Structures are given as structure tokens and as C-alpha cells.
Structure 1
């Protein structure tokens, strides 16, 4: 039975490392971390593999880089993150796309290699062109002689599906600015690379993993269940993105549109209840959609069931088929990074 605590938080929150501290050390606010994903393997063996460039070596990009069996270059704007990538065996490339700064030239050995683009539209409110950085990154990759590209997109391109199923063949139907910008980005990537590189566009639902779950908000009593959490959704564990990308960059794949997701569409309230039961939290309060900031409403309005059968036909399958396997794994990795509290050793 969930425990009631003052302010709606969890009884166990003091003995667990909060997501906010995880993100400070290992997410968008600081150096990236591996969180115990698959080891990068013997360095000498990796050097003999096919090179890959990860444009945007952040949360998902880092996982992809660490799974890749060959030499890896990863771009970042941050000097601090560049040092962190280097310490993990990833060749860091400091590149500020669309910033008016000169971009580096990669070694000739990269020519004929692969690239993974994790860059989405710029959502800054004052930006003139939300796709300027993506466009410059594409031109830069073309100059390096890249021949295979996987672009990470979003299932938001399908719009509001009202509980229906979407597949890789479902026509796009964006109904909000976020979805529209994603469709524009996909079109830009396709047009720039046409005739130059084999392109696979990989559409993803909500991404989760160590340091990126609802744990911290539940423990702090800050999570709100919008419209009762009745909408349908899917998730994908960050490591499963990496294995999907590796499969799409195999020689026998001809490119195209793909979805990668877990095996089980769910109503959000069921995932939240599962998390609360495991973390010892009360169920969060329900709020109407009108109370949610407009910029994040699309996350609650998709209401879709994603189907990855096309990708599965290539032999790919998620290692974490639902949140019931993935959330405990994410929390386990977080807790392994947390030194035992006094009295718990």
C-alpha cells in the first residue's frame, strides 16, 4: 500500500538518490554518464570496425555511442561534456551548429562511415529558424563523406490518434507545433540526403532510462496525472534505441521509415500506479489538461498505440518490453550509483 507523506511525496525519498541530482551529474545539466550500459569492448577491436558519427551525443546519443562496435565520434557544444566523452572512449567533437563558428574536419577514415542524428528542432521561443542547426549538421556530415544516416524523430508526427494504433506506414498528421516541426525536420533531412546517403528515419515515443523517469517528481510530490492518465502511450528504454540504430545501419537494410517502441501500449495511469507501488508513493492528484503549460500539452494529447512490427521483422526486439521491466532496471542502475546512506551499509 502506498505511503502517505506530508506534501504528497514518498516515504522512501530520503534513502534514494533523486533524479534531479542524477541529472546534474549525468544528464542535460552536466557530464554524461554510461549508467552501466553494454561495455564498449576492446579498444583494438573497435578500431577495426566501421566508424560512426553521433551528432548530438546527449542522453540517447551516448547510449548509441557506447553500443557501437567501431570507432565513434560524438558532437557536443560543451567543453565539459567533451572531456567526459573522451574519458569514455568516444572521440569528442566540439561543434556549435548554426552559431556562426567554424566546424572541424574529421579524419579521412570517417568517409564511407555512418552517422546518427539525434538533433530535433530548436524549441527556444526566440529562435528564427528552428531547423538551422540541423541543416548545418547535415551539410557538415555530407562534407565528411558519410554514406549511411539514421535520424531520430518522434511519434508526435502522427498527431492525436485518439487511442488508435500507428505504424511506420501511418501517414503523418501533426496537430500541434511540436509535431509540425518534427515533420519539417524529417523533410529537411530527407531532401538534403537524397542521392547522397542511405537514410533511415526512426520515430520514437517517450524515452526513459536511468536518470530519466518520473521517480524524482513522484518522490517530491510534484507529479500530476493529467485527465486521469487515461490516454494511451508507449515508451522505449534508451538502450533499446541503441540496438535499433545498430540494426538499421546493417548493410541489408535499405533505409525508410521505422518505429522503435516497447511491446505494450499502456494507459499512463497504469504506469504511474506501478511506479508508486514500487517507490512507496501515493498516487498523484489528477488535474485537467487546461492546467498544464501549453508547450507540454502535446505530450498528453497524443493518445496513441505504437506498433514496431516493421522493425521487428528485421529481428530487432526491445530488451525491456514494457515499463514493468524497464523502470526497475533504470532504478537499479540509479541506486548502484548511490552510496548507501548512513546506517544502511
Structure 2
């Protein structure tokens, strides 16, 4: 297995760590030399990719790739591998046996707190979520046209070692914003990696929500982290009066409970099914910072 991860950031690096023991090669792209050096330390062969120009080195990596994970956000120009003028993907990757596209549960839009699953009609609110819908369609169409199994992984709010409520509290950046009725799903980064490995090993294609069991109000997660640390949680702040960036505020415009039943029915068992279990594991292991 020759793995290529386009956009080896927080999720991509976790996927690389999980797949490394199974693969002959694991290559990951990044935009900067500094980040490339970090990938090397993690056992990932780094390549610079700006999302536009496919270098000869990247082209060579693509030529041997059997398993692809695409984690780069599309942007207004569209998916970097599907844009007009790019070489045909089937020609760039003649050995491709499976592809995974990392998307977002933001494609569902707002459902007033109701449950959604992979069959729920999409009503993306933000422009970035609309771009994700288009990219999903392109990747699924590529799979149908070529016969390559393509899985779309719709991810909820990502957290894990180094990116979590415990660290936010320690750094003094945690806030308990309260918007009545608002809930979010979350996903531990190791479960993104585990789900990816599971889908690869079973050759599964299609759309899967990769998300936890327990959509919950964001202020409850902060309170649980504070309880584990033995400190007082920060005071509650009404959403209406909170100072937020336009992007942060837009997240609160979407309220839904995302089901992971399809992935479970396929046979995947989540390592961290709830934020309570996950935060407790991070705190006990001491790898939250």
C-alpha cells in the first residue's frame, strides 16, 4: 500500500500515523517548509503542494499511490485535483485502489436540532459548506466513472491531543458560550484515523458520518473539562452578547444532531464515542497539552 495524504494537517497526520505500519510508503503534502520538517519527524515523506501546481515530485508520488486521502478544503476555485486545467486524476494515479475525501457535517446545514443521517437532504448555509458539497459530488462521480471505491467522510468538530477543552482551559482561552437549544457533534482525531483504516481495509465506498454518539451543548464540554482538572469553569456568556468572528458565529447558525449509525452498522467501533470518555482519557494519559 502506497498512501498519499493531500493536506497532512491535524487529521491527515493522525491518519498517516495509523496507516504507517500497514503501508510501504506514506507521503503527505503541506504548504510550508517548516511544516514539511515536522512531517518528516512523524515518519511522513513530505512534499510541498500549494493546492495548484503539481510538481514533478508530487506527480511521481501520485503515480505509485494506491490509497489517497484528500484533506484540502476546496475554496472558491474548487477541489485542487478537480479544477479545470489539472491533469486527469485517473492518469495521475493509475494504481489508485481507494480514495477518501474528508468533508464536513456542515453540508447538512441547519436542522433546528433534529437528527440527520447520510440520507438527509443537504442544505448548506455557508459558502465553504456549499463548496464542500460540490467537491463531494466530484469525488463520488470520479468513483462511479472509474470504478475506484471513493468514501466521503463527513467529519464533525475535530479535537484530540493538543487541541481540546483541557488545553483551552489551561491557556485561558476557553469560554462557555450559551445559546439555548444549541448542540454540536464532535470527533476525536484518532477515530477519524481509525474510521479511515476501517474503510480502506473493507474497501468501502459511499458517504459516512464520522462523528461521536453524543451531540451536546458546547458549554457542557467546557464544564466537564474543568471538572476533570479540578478547577472552576469560566462563567457562562450569552451567545447574543459574545464577541465572535464571523466564521465562529456562523457555526452557531447550524444546529443538528448527526447520526453515526451507518458507520457503526458497517462494523466500525468508535474508540472515543463520547466527549466524556475522550476528555477523561486525555486527562489520565496527560497528552492533552
Same fold (TM over 0.5): yes
Following superposition, the deviation at residue 286 of structure 1 comes to 1.2
Per-residue CA deviation, residues 64-113 of structure 1 (Å, 9 max, x unaligned), is: 011111131111222222233223322222222215866632258725x1
Instruction: Provide runs of 4+ in structure 1 moved above 6 Å.
Output: none
Alignment pair present for 1:313 and 2:265: yes
Q: Within the alignment, does 1:106 sit opposite 2:60 as a pair? A: yes
Q: Which stretch of the first structure deviates more once superposed, 170-179 or 80-89?
A: 80-89
Cα RMSD after superposing both structures:
2.7
Normalization by structure 2: what TM-score? 0.85
Q: Tell me if the contact between 1:231 and 1:301 (Cα under 8 Å) persists in the aligned partners.
A: no
Alignment of 1:166 onto 2:116? yes
Q: Secondary structure at the match of 2:268?
A: coil
Which residue matches 2:254?
302
Please say if 1:116 is aligned against 2:69. Answer: yes
In structure 2, distance between residues paired with 1:139 and 1:261: 34
> What is the TM-score normalised by the length of structure 1?
0.73
Q: Of 217, 221, 225, which residue of structure 1 is paired with 2:176?
A: 225
Tell whether the 8 Å contact from 1:159 to 1:302 is kept in structure 2 after alignment.
yes
- Output the CA distance in 1 between the equivalents of 2:199 and 2:141: 19
Show the counterpart of 1:53. Answer: 4
Structure 1 residue 193, shift from structure 2 partner: 4.6
Partner deviation per Cα, 1:259-297 (whole Å, 9 max, x = no partner): 111122222222121112223133333133464322222
Shift of 1:308: 0.9
What is the aligned residue count? Answer: 280
Closer/same/farther in 2, CA of residues 332 and 133 from structure 1, 3 Å limit: farther
- 1:95 paired residue number: 49
> Matches of 1:140 and 1:114 in 2, distance apart?
17
Structure 2 residue ranges without an equivalent (≥5): none
Asked which structure has the greater CA Rg, the reply is: 1
SS in 1 for 2:16: helix
The unaligned stretches of length 5 or more in structure 1 are 1-49, 123-128, 339-345
Partner of 1:213: 164
Question: What residue number does 1:65 align with?
Answer: 16
| Partner Cα distance (2:288, 2:250) in 1 | 33
> Counterpart of 2:103?
153
Q: Which has the higher contact order (CA 8 A, sep 6+)?
A: 1
